Chain A
Amino acid sequence: MQSYVQIENAGMVFSTKKGKFTALTDINLNVEQGEFIALIGHSGCGKSTLLNLVAGLLDATDGVLLLANKEIKGPGPERSVVFQNHSLLPWLTAFENVHLAVEKVFGGSESKAQLKARTSAALELVGLTHAATKLPGEISGGMKQRVGIARALAMEPKVLLMDEPFGALDALTRAHLQDELMKIVAATQSTVIMVTHDVDEAVLLSNRIVMMTNGPAATIGEILSVDLPRPRDRLQLAHDPRYHALRSQVLEFLYSRQMRPKEAA
């Protein structure tokens, strides 16, 4: 069977003032439809660069990236992104922020009422119906991130890309949103690629964890399958030896084999 997302020999070289900088090299990854992939690695290992390649915000200097057998050229709404810092437009309400995306994707084929219904449904999915008329400045960081997720999901993307979506949140809010995300992904059968630096998050959420070596010229070091049954419950997993085994494997990779280089910031 053909993979949904195919990354073949992808590499990324940035031209900087100090000369060429190889960020990524020889990336090969196949993602199946409905799969949840976590990209993990130390800062500066190029995991966000890889996500941006899939998003089309960056163009790979080597290799090819395919989505459903079509080459990825430039960004597009079928690969929606949840950014780390929510990136809501501060002058639009939660509803308008989501609606902007819905309008763009479905505006050509659906009526205004349908577009509004889609927007409301997306906000309901993340439990924010009550905050629809609020501006981003008036809601908490967790709520903003949920609006960002609603916006990304409302576009009904083929792949949902998340760049450390919960990195800026406190631990309790993060846990809460992780649980919600698991429910949403189970309900929508979304294909997700998520960048994270949180080992627990990676094990809890993903089907496979893609562990990256340190940059420069980072590549995929190892891929770990997480065969924990779903739905997953963080309290039960806390006592599950399989969970701890997986967790230590990731930690082993990150801190023993890919020790953070001294010069890294």
Chain B
Amino acid sequence: MSAVNATTENLNDLLSGEDIAPTPQVSTAAAPTRRTPYFETESGKRLVENALTLFRNAIPPLLGMLLFVGLWGLISHSIKNIPGPYETWISAVELFSDPFYNNGPNDQGIGWNILNSLYRVGMGFGAAALVGIPLGFMVGRFDFLNRMLSPIISILRPVSPLAWLPIGLLVLQKAEPASIWVIFISSIWPMVLNTAAGVQRIPQDYLNIARVLNLSEFKVFTRILFPAVLPYVLTGVRLSIGVAWLVIVAAEMLTGGVGIGFWVWDEWNNLNVAHIIIAIFVVGIVGLLLEQGLMLLAKRFSYE
């Protein structure tokens, strides 16, 4: 018992940052002048408070993860072919210990697969942004164009992304540009529609200001239209990148090549289920990171 007390005291000394060497105390109660323990000082209380808040905030997500892993374990226990959390973890450690090996086109490290998928998403999504955002501005600004394009957009928007793949393969002849084309066509709509909605929703007051001041078209665009529409554009961008990342896995399954989607299919052919589960997590985490990154960007540009 006294040994335990002594260690806590030592810890307190360390935490309070004093240089005095901790004198071994047999009993705390015996000491004539008892220094205030660190956890009763102001900063100590704050530390405890923060730790408790962190703890309280961390409990629900941790519990959720635990429940998830538990359920997974249970399922893997009853279904023979599904690897459990532990096996998957071992497999993942092995996989991520060498992410950038290259044994020819059909056997590359997980890192290469992710980067290749991100490259395709970047190309398709970038092209969609270059076309979609200006198009959205024009659709929002000119009612004629809006009425001209809205039936086409309404018909094309709900089309499943992969339905575009044969057209891409036919026209572009190669798998790589065809999958970029699929990303392009499926991620362009949220950007067009959100940008157009943003332009249409610019408060009349701002446009009245522009009229009273007689601002030039250039000033109207840079000082009023662009900043007013930017939050809408970023919402569109965020939705688009989500769609693009969803679509890439499916597109790569069909087109092949190096990429996370093809990798999933390849591991299915190898019947390496642990790798498929790892791929699911990787896709989820990368998607989350992309979305969160853009959320941060959007927050940076929101002005109210």
Contacts and interface: CB of A to CB of B under 8 A. Distances in A.
A58 to B, nearest CB: 11
B208 A83 contact: yes
A87 B213 contact: no
A80 B209 CA distance: 9
Nearest to B216: A104
A77 B205 contact: no
A28 interface: no
Contact of B209 (A79, A89, A91): A89
Interface-central residue, B212, B213, B215, by most chain A CB under 10 Å = B212
A182 interface: no
B218 interface: no
A89 B212 CA distance: 14
Interface in B208-231: 208-209, 211-215, 219, 223-224, 227-228
Contacts of A77: 212-214
A207 to B, nearest CB: 24
B218 to A, nearest CB: 12
Given A101-B213, A104-B215, A57 B303 contact: no
Contacts of B223: 89, 92, 100
B208 A89 contact: no
SS of A interface (majority): loop
Contact of A83 (B205, B213, B215, B219): B205
Interface string B150-187: 00000000000000000000000000000000000000
B303 A90 contact: yes
A87 B303 contact: no
A60 interface: no
Contact of B304 (A74, A85, A90, A104): A90
Interface in A129-179: 135, 137, 155
Interface string B217-257: 00100011001100000000000000000000000000000
Contacts of A76: 212, 214
B38 to A, nearest CB: 40
B205 A85 contact: yes
A81 B215 CA distance: 15
Contacts of B205: 83, 85, 87
A17 to B, nearest CB: 16
B304 A57 contact: no
A100 B213 CA distance: 9
16 contacts: A55-B212, A75-B208, A75-B214, A79-B212, A81-B212, A87-B205, A87-B208, A89-B209, A89-B223, A90-B304, A91-B227, A91-B228, A100-B219, A100-B223, A104-B219, A135-B303
5 pairs of A and B residues whose beta carbons are closest in the complex: A87-B205, A91-B227, A75-B211, A91-B303, A75-B212
Given A89-B209, A100-B213, A137-B303, 14 more contacts: A75-B208, A76-B214, A77-B212, A79-B212, A81-B212, A85-B205, A89-B206, A90-B304, A91-B227, A100-B223, A104-B213, A104-B214, A104-B219, A155-B213
Interface of B: 205-206, 208-209, 211-215, 219, 223-224, 227-228, 303-304
Interface of A: 55, 57, 74-77, 79-81, 83, 85, 87, 89-92, 100-101, 104-105, 135, 137, 155
